[in-house]
Amino acid sequence: MASITLNSIVKKYDDGFPAVNNVSLDIADGEFVILVGPSGCGKSTLLRMIVGLEDITSGELLIDGQRMNEAAPKDRNLAMVFQNYALYPHLTVYENIAFPLRLAKEKNGNGQSNGNGEGSVDDRVQKAAAMLELTEHLDRKPANLSGGQRQRVAMGRAIVREADAFLFDEPLSNLDAKLRGQMRSEIARLQRRLGITSVYVTHDQTEAMTLGDRVAVLKKGLLQQVASPRELYEQPVNLFVAGFIGSPSMNFLPATLKEGSQGAGGTGGAGGAILSSPIGDIPISAEKAAVAQGRELVMIGLRPEYFEDASLVDEAKMARGSVFTAELSHLEWLGHEQYGYIEFEPDERVGRLLSDLASEMDADELRPQVVTTLSAESRVRPGEPAELWVDASRIHIFDPETGENLTRDPEAGAELTRIAAQEREHEIELAAASARSPQNTQNTQDSRSV
Ligand code: ATP
């Protein structure tokens, strides 16, 4: 296992375009880091530079403190797990897993030089198979396995090589939604159990949020923010990260500080102010009002779950926010909750800002609408006035031109990432304890579903 350090890494292809632009990132030994961003943001290029399939134009790559820019891929001792698993259909599971060891033997002249005799090949395959719960499938061919089992064979091949790190390039993007969900937890569980440094590329923010100890968000080759999923979600640095992380996405609305409203007593303390927005007036705290002061326009960010049917909000919560009346254009009932949509008319400038943001995020057009998550028991109806409540204490305020989150609290954010790191250590300890317990191994096998 190893740490991976990227120092000011730049990749320019022949046309001079910086596909990766000055990226610095420290990946700790045993850490699971996700590279996420829309298509073309440079995440695959970055991964390929780490593994050695792409030259680094400038900057430095260190693996366990050693400069590796010039090292051949085989000398970096990293294992890549691809989207299509790259299994050999005519070979059994056993032979697929043994393949890299046999290849190394051939290259090194009959297995002498790296100490891999047949005994040690069998030993390593059996060990990996046991770890991956594949022992009973060793004689089968890949075509007869489930998607999840195939994925484990691909990981087995990486494990027998005793690689220092796993590099995943969108390994789940070919799978249907259900299997993707199962495989996500499978990969998370294995990574914890093996404690192996892992870098995982995806454009899927759900994978990023559920798998990563930390997530690096890229946009057009530039690193936007590296943090725990919770910090990204609660303390995003800018409009791009705020909009990219979370599903449904954060709602963005233009707003202006209502003249003379200071001292109106918004949430979170005395002397707040009022923000005027397309969904009505929102009282905010003095602290938040201060960042909007002197600005002609700000963009406010409200996540769907900051809203609720006002009739279902208890008194204690009510004081944190404000009630407004809106007409829902439509409602989607999902069983455990419902999404209510409120449409609004943006002016030209705001319409342009939303459309630029949507194209940066590689998203469909960002519609001038607010998505609200309402309790399943709410009886509000589309086309009728509905009394809704919004938790104004959690509002984000962004600079509409630079996109900067003016209300971000870096200390609170760092604390979230620190807690995530502690939780990770705890999970690794639990996984190690569980691996030592035969009772637990049996239980895991019994409950396996893929
Ligand atoms: P995707 O999710 O679509 O795979 P990505 O984030 O992995 O996207 P990269 O494949 O790393 O993005 O590409 C980053 C940028 O570099 C893109 O603008 C792409 O067009 C460019 N690029 C990638 N490979 C080459 C190449 N061989 N020659 C020139 N430009 C390239």
- Does 49 sit in the ligand 1 pocket, CB within 6 Å? no
Write the pLDDT tens digit of every residue in 159-198: 888 889 999 988 887 777 777 887 788 788 888 888 889 9
Distances (CA, A) of 340 to 92, 129, 166, 313, 389: 52, 48, 42, 16, 13
Query: Among 15, 41, 359, which residue has the most ligand 1 atoms within 8 Å of its CB, making it the best to mutate?
Result: 41
Amino acid at 410: P
CATH of the domain at 77: 3.40.50.300
Residues 173 and 286 in one domain: no
The answer to whether position 240 is within a domain reads no
The confidence score (pLDDT) of residue 425 equals 82
The answer to whether position 207 is within a domain reads yes
Write the pLDDT tens digit of every residue in 44-85: 999 999 999 999 999 999 999 999 999 998 889 898 887 666
The confidence score (pLDDT) of residue 438 equals 59
- 395 is in which domain, residue-wise? 248-407
How much is the pTM?
0.86
Q: What is the pLDDT along the chain (450 residues), one digit of tens a residue?
A: 799 999 999 999 988 889 999 999 999 999 999 999 998 999 999 999 999 999 999 999 999 999 999 999 888 989 888 766 678 999 999 999 999 888 877 766 654 444 445 568 899 999 889 888 899 999 999 888 887 788 889 888 888 888 899 999 888 877 777 778 877 887 888 888 888 899 999 988 889 998 889 999 999 999 999 999 999 999 999 999 999 999 899 999 999 998 776 666 555 444 688 999 988 889 999 889 999 988 989 999 999 999 999 999 999 899 889 899 999 999 999 999 999 999 988 788 878 888 888 787 776 656 788 999 999 999 999 999 999 999 999 999 999 989 999 999 999 999 999 998 888 888 878 877 877 775 554 444 433 333
Q: Phi/psi at 226 (nearest 5 deg)? A: -120, 120
Residues 12 and 58 in one domain: yes
DSSP string, 184-205: HHHHHHHHHHHT-EEEEEES-H
Which of 391, 407, 423 is the last residue in one of the domains? 407
Q: In angstroms, what is the span from residue 41 Cα to ligand 1's centroid? A: 7
Residues 252 and 112 in one domain: no
* 273, 289 contact by CB (below 8 A): yes
Question: Which residue has a Cα nearest atom 31 of ligand 1?
Answer: 13
How many structural domains is the chain composed of? 2
Query: Among 21, 36, 43, 53, which residue has the most ligand 1 atoms within 8 Å of its CB, making it the best to mutate?
Result: 43
Amino acid at 371: V
Residues 188 and 223 in one domain: yes
Q: In angstroms, what is the span from residue 42 Cα to ligand 1's centroid? A: 6
* 116, 104 contact by CB (below 8 A): yes
Residues 295 and 195 in one domain: no
DSSP string, 358-377: HHHTTPSP--SEEEEEEETT
